[in-house]
Amino acid sequence: MGIIECEGKTPRQINMAIKALIAAGETDIRVCHPAAYHNLGVALTVPVRVMFEGSVGYYCGGMGDGPTIAVQGSAGWGLAEGMMSGTVVVEKNAGNGAAAAIRGGTVVVRGDVSARAGISMKGGTVIVGGNVGYMTGFMMQKGTIIILGDAGAALGDSLYEGRIFIAGRISELGNDAVLAALSGDDERYLAETLAPFGYEVARYEFKKIEAGRKLWNFDKTDFATWKVAL
């Protein structure tokens, strides 16, 4: 186990210390007192385990390809932004744009997330144990968002592909986001995906949201739809 103390270090020095431990063959790293610094644990491209013992700032775990990152506190904006593969688990809350534009991997936030979680995601899985804010899944193109709490306004606005499962209340669906029936495959998928993170699927009743596909092609006779969406 490699241990890094953040006090007295800049975010760059912390990241360099993480990479130095990885280069020395370390596979398990504990980072103490991260104090909500930004850009921690970004661009890690090996299957290393990194535990942040406290809160992190913006872009934690961004651009990762393979690491398993755990955050014991909260996370700021852009958690795991642009991640390719790996797992990021936040024990408390996350700010705006969690899992923005991820292409793969799994992002889990056990508390609440603020606006635009999963915006423009192109793959991967986002699991939120609490509530999600405004415009969750905005323009997502692929992948899955699973919400165990309630959702704010404009849920799934202008999504192209991908799907959102939600157990709580939907305050408002976004443009061209529609409710769809859950299949047996969906239920198996939910059970398999949630179980490793300690969520029991039987405790929730999910609704499924996907694209209505009305915005896929421009139809000038249906201009009103576009006017609202844009």
Spatial distance between the Cα atoms of 44 and 221, rounded to a whole number of angstroms: 49
Instruction: Decide: is 38 part of the binding site for another protein (CB under 8 A).
Output: yes
Instruction: Decide: is 149 part of the binding site for another protein (CB under 8 A).
Output: no
**Which part of the chain contacts another protein (CB under 8 A), choosing from 61-69, 92-100, 179-187, 198-206?**
92-100
DSSP, collapsed to helix, strand or coil, labels residue 122 as strand
**Selected binder of another protein within 49, 63, 73, 167 (CB under 8 A):** 73
Sketch the per residue contact string, 46 through 65, with another protein: x for CB under 8 A, - otherwise: --------xx-xx-------
Buried b (16+ CB within 10 A) or exposed e, 79-118: bbbbbebbbbbbbbbbbbbbbbbbbbbbbbbbbbbbbbbb
* Minimum distance of another protein from residue 116's CB (angstroms): 7
**Selected binder of another protein within 48, 50, 86, 112 (CB under 8 A):** 112
Biggest alpha carbon–alpha carbon distance for the chain: 63
Residue written as tokens 């390719």?
A: 84
Instruction: Decide: is 174 part of the binding site for another protein (CB under 8 A).
Output: no
| Paired residues of 208 in beta bridges | 165, 180
Nearer to another protein, 48 or 101 (CB): 101
Instruction: Decide: is 66 part of the binding site for another protein (CB under 8 A).
Output: no
The answer to whether residues 16 and 42 touch, using CB atoms and an 8 Å cutoff, is no
Q: Which spans of this chain sit near another protein (rule: CB under 8 A)?
A: 33, 35-38, 54-55, 57-58, 73-74, 76-77, 92-96, 111-112, 114-116, 133-135, 152
